[in-house]
Structures are given as C-alpha cells and as structure tokens.
C-alpha cells in the first residue's frame, strides 16, 4: 500500500460527499483534489469564493464539453474517458462510479461493517440498496434538485414534463425509503451504517436545498431521525463544509 488514495471531485456533488465522508469517518489516508462542476459555478458567491481559492479544473455536467483549466490534473482524464466524478486513483488504478469506489475502499481496507469481505449475503443486502438507489431515488432526486435549485440560479430551462413526473416519483421514493428500506431499523441493513446508508444519506440530505413543498421531512419522521444520526459522525463536518456554507446562505 505504497500509494496514497487520490479522490477527485466537487464537494457539492452528493456521490463525492458520500465517498469523502466514509474515507474521513474511517480515517483512511487520502488526498482530495477539487474538480469543479462548472454549471454550479454561479450557484452562490460562497461556492465561487471557496473554489477560486483552490486549484481546480472545470468539468461540465453536460455530456460532451470539458474544459480543462489546470493541466496539472490531465492525467486523470487519460484514465477516466467518461469524465465522471468522483474518480479515485490508487497508484495505476483509476476508478469511477461512487458505488464502485466505495465497494473498493471497503474491501481493500477491510471495513467489514460497511461491506463484508467475508459474508456474501451481508454484501447482497448492501448491494440491493446500492443497485436500487440509481433509478429508485437518484433519478428523481437529482432532477428535482437541479430544476428547483440549480436551474433558476443559472438561468437554465427545465423540461417541465420530466420534472412533473420526477416530483411525483420523488415522493414515492421517499415513502418507500421510509417504510421499506428503513422500516423500524436504525440503518438500512440493521444497527450499523453500511455503504448503502452513506450513499443514501448524501442524496437525501442534499434535498435540503429544494423548497419544503418538494421535500417535507415532517412527513417522513423515520428519515428525519436517520439523517440526524449522521450529523454527529466523525468526518461529517469536514465532508459537509461547503454544503453547509451554501445551505446557510439560502
């Protein structure tokens, strides 16, 4: 384990926060390199100021256009042709996709309570949520977040038909998250948080940016209690620094 992990990402991205939060929580040595999502640039002065002080490259949310601001980080793009963040480098290995990155870290560092290296069925319980997450929650939550928070601040048009559908889907997703994934358990798989919880936590807590009519925690008391459990965890403050500053300006 000669090399140190390098995580590339933007702390305003939910999957990046999930990876960073688990790294910090488990005190895994790593270097964090900021890669800025350009469409979030005009989000707030606070966000802009924090990033203008750090070294960054631009990455656009749209599919094709990438403008590399600092060629310093060029290497990551040779091995990351999809231009996705988060990206993780560990020596010669480059990984994308946050769930893959989290599974890798948990297995490499034997963080068995997050994702068991010895028990296939325990892994499957985590995998079920992680696989459901993409289309079950994230498709709806990112659409609502983008349309209700990002788009109006950057003057971007919204696909109203798709938005109406995803607003409805989001309520269904949250109800199912509350009643089926959480149910009467403390965390998704049981008494302790797993990778599934970290991924879901950053996605759901991100909805604090959207108006309460689209994300009303008083309707989801179990989700509310579950969210609060994370806020006293080691690594929460550091991984949510920018998130909280942007939130406090609302």
3-state DSSP of the chain = CCCCEEEEECCCCHHHHHHHHHHHHCCCCEEEEECEEHHHCCCCHHHHHHHHCCCCCEECCCCCCCCCCCHHHHHHHHCCCCCCCCEEEECCEEEECHHHHHHHHHHHCCCCCCCCCCCHHHHHHHHHHHHHHHHHHHHHHHHHHHHHHHHHHHCCCCCHHHHHHHHHHHHHHHHHHHHHHHCCCCCCCCCCCCHHHHHHHHHHHHHHHCCCCCCCHHHCHHHHHHHHHHCCCCCHHHHCHHHHHHHHCC
User: How far apart are CB 129 and other proteins at their closest, in Å?
Assistant: 8
Minimal distance in Å, beta carbon 25 to other proteins? 21
- Of 19, 96, 111, 189, the one binding other proteins (CB under 8 A) is 96
Nearer to other proteins, 83 or 208 (CB): 83
Q: Which residue from 13, 98, 141, 169 is in contact with other proteins, where contact means CB under 8 A?
A: 98
Q: Does 30 interact with other proteins (rule: CB under 8 A)?
A: no
| Binding residue (CB under 8 A) for other proteins from 28, 50, 68, 128 | 128
Q: Which stretch binds other proteins (CB under 8 A): 70-78, 122-130, 149-157, 220-228?
A: 122-130
**Which of residues 27, 42, 55, 108 is near other proteins by CB under 8 A?**
108
Q: Does 139 bind other proteins (CB under 8 A)?
A: yes
Of 31, 165, 168, 212, the residue at the interface with other proteins (CB under 8 A) is 165
- Per rule CB under 8 A, is residue 120 in the interface with other proteins? yes
Burial 163-179 (b: 16+ CB within 10 A, else e): beebbebbbebbeebbe
Pick out residues in 41-80 that bind other proteins (CB under 8 A).
63-64
Contacts of 206 (CB under 8 A, 6+ apart): 14, 141, 145, 243
Minimum distance of other proteins from residue 103's CB (angstroms): 6
Q: How far is the CB of 162 from other proteins (least distance, A)?
A: 5
Provide, rounded to whole angstroms, the least separation between the CB of residue 208 and other proteins: 22
- Residues of this chain that bind other proteins (CB under 8 A): 63-64, 81-82, 84, 93, 95-100, 103-104, 107-108, 120-121, 123-124, 127-128, 130-132, 134-135, 138-139, 159-162, 165, 176, 180
């Amino acid at each position: 384990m000669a090399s140190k992990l390098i995580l590339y990402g933007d702390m305003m991205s939910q999957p990046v926060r999930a990876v960073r939060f688990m790294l910090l929580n488990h005190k895994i040595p790593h270097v964090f390199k900021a890669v800025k999502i350009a469409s979030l640039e005009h989000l707030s002065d606070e966000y802009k100021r924090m990033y203008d002080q750090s070294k960054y490259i631009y990455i656009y949310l749209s599919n094709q256009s990438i403008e590399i601001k600092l060629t310093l980080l060029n290497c990551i793009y040779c091995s990351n042709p999809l231009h996705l963040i988060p990206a993780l480098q560990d020596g010669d290995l480059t990984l994308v996709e946050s769930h893959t990155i989290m599974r890798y870290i948990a297995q490499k560092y034997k963080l068995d309570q997050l994702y068991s290296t010895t028990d296939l069925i325990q892994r499957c319980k985590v995998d079920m949520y992680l696989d459901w997450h993409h289309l079950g929650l994230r498709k709806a939550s990112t659409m609502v977040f983008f349309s209700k928070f990002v788009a109006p601040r950057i003057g971007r048009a919204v696909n109203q038909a798709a938005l109406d559908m995803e607003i409805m889907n989001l309520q269904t997703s949250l109800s199912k998250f509350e009643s089926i994934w959480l149910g009467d358990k403390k965390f998704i798989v049981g008494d302790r948080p797993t990778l599934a919880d970290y991924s879901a936590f950053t996605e759901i807590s991100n909805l604090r940016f959207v108006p309460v009519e689209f994300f009303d925690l008083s309707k989801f008391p179990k989700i509310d209690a579950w969210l609060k459990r994370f806020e006293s965890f080691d690594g929460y403050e550091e991984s949510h620094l920018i998130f909280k500053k942007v939130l406090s300006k609302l």
